[in-house]
Amino acid sequence: MNPTRLFDFIDYQNEKYPQERSLTYRDKGQEKSYSTAEIARLAQEVACGLWRLGLRPGDKIASVIVKNRPEWMALDLGMMQIGVANVPVYPTISPKEYEYIFNDATVKLCFVGDDDAGSVFKKVQQAQLAVPSLKTIYTFDKVNYAQSWTDLLGNTKDLDAVNRIKSNVDAQDLATIIYTSGTTGNPKGVMLSHDNIVSNIQSVQPLMPIGAGAKVLSFLPLNHIFERVCAYNYLYIGANVVFTGIDNLGGDTGDLKSVQPQFFTTVPRLLEKVYEKLYNKGLELTGIKKKLFFWALKLTNDYEYDKKYSGFRGLQHNLADKLIYSKWREALGGNIVGILVGASACPVKIARTFSAAGIPVREGYGMTETSPGITISGYKPNMALLGTVGPVINGVEVRIDASDGNYREGEGEIIASGRNVMLGYYNKPVQTAEVIKMMDGKRWMCTGDVGKFVEKDGKPFLKITDRKKELFKTSGGKYVAPAPIENSLKEHFLIEQVMVLGENQKFVSALIVPAVEALRDWCKSHSVEWKNMADALKNPAVIAAFQKAVDQYNPNFSKVEQIKKFVLIADSWEPVKADGSEAELTPTMKLKRRVILEKYKKAIQEIYV
């Protein structure tokens, strides 16, 4: 069979290469596995259970889970079999945000996979009071006075009716509505059809470095389009997926070492933290061990994808691999053949260092509105170029639109066309028309990202240079792109987050959030007293260390783009705040510039006094 709808992928796996451990859930050392046939059966039972409750094609169901789990996949596959759209939502948002999304989508049910405190159920329950359409909240976990999702299971007497609906679901029908975590205003519901996502999966599948039976870890949120599409892709290729939490990955008993995966997807920040830990362990070494560590690290500086070492350099690389790099691979389980990074820009240094050490890191690019893939760096020769997000995938067309003229030579807004472009924003035709343009008889998605094509061996690779709305102009009339400067500075092990400033100002400055563990270790190794972050940032030696870091990266940019002043921020920037205040980051770790500008208004004013 050829899958054309998302729920076809489980039937495809069952037919082509059924797995005994298709989907596994690990938590606190415990695990439960489901075979391909069991997942297919659960999805069927879900479809029948929802049908008995009166759900019909066109209805919407919300889902909120703290950790990825096979039951969520069964729910997702089951509801789509009767034409019901899944509205997956982040567990970290506020009751008010749930209220807005549930009302906008008129969801009828909500399924919750909670944390130990049951906080998500409580937030959804609070929101339900203001959502007339939301009748029942089901839970995947045991919660007092809540209905269990198992109430839907075990009865397939309506299977004939369900199968009739299933056979009539069209590839162009709505499959899901995913609300974007925008940095301003209310989120918009991105409507994606089965064909939007299926076409993307089938374009990406040949680029994957794994096949049937491969072990993969899944810990990025399934409510985000990136990980969700990857999960369907794993069904398509017959991989064995282990769902876990990001907090369960590291250490000698963590899931990386116990599962020994061949592949996983991640966001750059996780790899940055792994790098920081490796670097800090190197600082703790003494004598010849310390020299060997930093010698091996320095060897990675000239690495490029597809580079082969020979002669004396080859001998050096082999020795470094035996003594140092092999230990890095062991920390990630020892079997990694590929890591795919998405959601935000991956620092070149991170991709270079890990790849040189035999841990292939590749980057993809896209957005929820394009289901999501636009470009992906491959693992085969001439399919990746450091500093780019890879070649355009099959079935997608990309243009660089410089029609408004505010770009450097060869740059412009990235616009994309293909079967992967969304149906539109739910209930928002005006906003849809603002981003989808008709040209040459095709629908083009205006991404808002600025980029250009660069070539390697005659093959074009897309390079992202900034966000269109984030370009700012200094008082001297010069345009500055903050993202490349921020991404470059974040390569330094002492720097966790950066926001570059300078709109209508004489010079460029920055707010810098230090990496706590790295700075604490640095203070220890440099005999600087550590009480807390706030005190440390007042120490002249610490300030000098960050000045040295800024001075290291400034020469990579033009004079007008170089950071003249900076402020060190003692707060951490998070995607969710414990006190309920507005977070500085989106759930995908992008800067909420408006929030940060307001929060640090006084510090910014002092920079430009």
Peptide bond just before 372 cis, omega within 30 deg: yes
How far apart are the C-alpha atoms of 366 and 424, rounded to whole Å? 16
| Amino acid of residue 382 | N
Decide the pairing of beta strands 373-376 and 215-218.
unpaired
User: Which tens digits make up the pLDDT trace of 227-243?
Assistant: 999 999 999 999 999 99
Q: Is the model's pLDDT at 580 over the cut of 80?
A: no
**pLDDT number for residue 470:** 77
Q: Fold identical between 8-193 and 471-607?
A: no
Mean pLDDT of 352-367: 96
In this structure, which topology does domain 471-607 adopt according to CATH? GMP Synthetase; Chain A, domain 3 (3.30.300)
Window from 11-25, 322-336, 461-475, 554-568 with minimum mean pLDDT: 461-475
pTM for the complete prediction? 0.85
Q: Is the model's pLDDT at 48 over the cut of 70?
A: yes
The residue ranking higher by pLDDT, 127 or 576, is: 127
How big is the chain by its Cα radius of gyration, in Å? 25
The pLDDT-based confidence of 146 (bands split at 50, 70, 90) is: confident
**pLDDT number for residue 185:** 65
The pLDDT-based confidence of 253 (bands split at 50, 70, 90) is: confident
| Spatial strand order in the sheet of 424-425 | 147-148, 136-139, 109-113, 60-65, 85-88, 174-179, 189-193, 424-425
Question: Domain coordinates of the chain in residue numbers?
Answer: 8-193, 471-607
The pLDDT-based confidence of 343 (bands split at 50, 70, 90) is: confident
**pLDDT number for residue 184:** 53
How far apart are the C-alpha atoms of 66 and 245, rounded to whole Å? 8
- For residue 577, what are the CA distances in angstroms to 67, 164, 498, 587? 19, 47, 18, 11
- For residue 115, what are the CA distances in angstroms to 127, 143, 245? 18, 10, 11
User: Which tens digits make up the pLDDT trace of 291-335?
Assistant: 999 999 999 999 999 999 999 999 999 999 999 999 999 999 999
How far apart are the C-alpha atoms of 74 and 59, rounded to whole Å? 18
**pLDDT number for residue 190:** 98
Q: Is the model's pLDDT at 541 over the cut of 80?
A: yes
The pLDDT-based confidence of 609 (bands split at 50, 70, 90) is: confident
Given a contact cutoff of 8 angstroms between Cβ atoms, the answer to whether 432 and 415 are in contact is no
CA atoms within 13 A on the CB side of 408: 13
The pLDDT-based confidence of 119 (bands split at 50, 70, 90) is: confident
How far apart are the C-alpha atoms of 1 and 157, rounded to whole Å? 26
- For residue 413, what are the CA distances in angstroms to 377, 448, 463, 488, 561? 20, 6, 11, 21, 20
- CATH architecture, range 8-193: 3-Layer(aba) Sandwich (3.40)
The residue ranking higher by pLDDT, 218 or 408, is: 218
